[in-house]
Structure formats: C-alpha cells, structure tokens
Amino acid sequence: MKMQNTKLVNTVKPDFALVTFVRPAVFFGDGLDIDVWDGEHFVGSLGAGKLIQHEVEPGEHLFLANSENWSYVSGNLIAGKHYFIKANLFPGVLYGRVALGVAQNTDPRIQEWQKKLKPTHASDKDKLDMEAKKRKEIDAALQEFKTGNISTFAKLQAENAL
C-alpha cells in the first residue's frame, strides 16, 4: 500500500490518546511492510525507517501487526497520553515474522525515533479498501485473541505513556 508522508504530531489532544508505531531500518526485511490494525480498523502499512501516529479515543484497544504472522498489543489507553509501540521483524519461514513491543516512557530511543523516522499515514479510502480486502483475516486474528488462543502479547500500561 502506498503510504503518504505527513507531519509529526508532538502534542496529544486532551480528549484522545496517541499511539506511535515505529520501525527503524535495520537492513533485514527492510523491503517488507507490516500491516498495523487497531482492532478491526486498518491503521496503515509500516515500512522500515517510518512511523505511523494513530490518534484514538481512550479506553481498551487491541493493536495487531501482520507480516507472516500476527502480533498483538493490548491496553487501556488514557486520554492525553502518548504511547510507543515498536515493530520488530525476524526471519520467518517465507519472508519475515513480526513482533510488537511496548517502549517504556524512559526509553532513550524515543527522541531518536521522533527525529529520524519519517511519519506516514494511509488515506481514508485506502484504509477502507484494506479493511474490506482483509476482513476474513482480521476477523480470524481477533477471534483467536478473544477466545484465549493467544497467550503471548505485549501490554500497554499507564506507566508506559508519556
């Protein structure tokens, strides 16, 4: 999917939470994009050396990333707070496996990510198209989580937020 360049958001609106998905370039798998979801809603395709910022209503969220597998981050987001989720890519059977991790608010890389990674976003039309195209896959991934079949996932906590 073609992502569009955008400006970095530095201020969180008081009635929303901000989630920044980051993916530094590390050579391995840099040509692969990782699809990022907020529940059943497509957020965008995260490329190497990029970040995606996602403004959400506070409350429970389940974020997913998909490459050769699904990876999950769950959390109860607080209004006015900024969270960072890092996508890591590892060798897989066919091309690459993704693992999402939560950055602590004291992580010194956060400032570097905000300076060096390019912010991108998907158009509303592209988001809707992807949701329609991947409906069965995302529904199955969400069902796996809801039924308790997914036991390994990262957890966003209040102390992770800036």
Tens-place pLDDT, residues 73-127:
999 999 999 999 999 887 767 677 899 999 999 999 999 999 999 999 999 999 9
Tens-place pLDDT, residues 35-50:
999 999 999 999 999 9
Question: Tokens in use for 44?
Answer: 């965008």
The number of distinct structural domains making up the chain is 1
Q: What is the pTM of this model?
A: 0.93
Sorted by sequence, the CB contacts under 8 Å of residue 60 that are 6+ apart come out as 74, 75, 76, 77
**In DSSP terms, which residues pair with 155 in a beta bridge?**
74
- The whole domain housing 95 covers 4-160
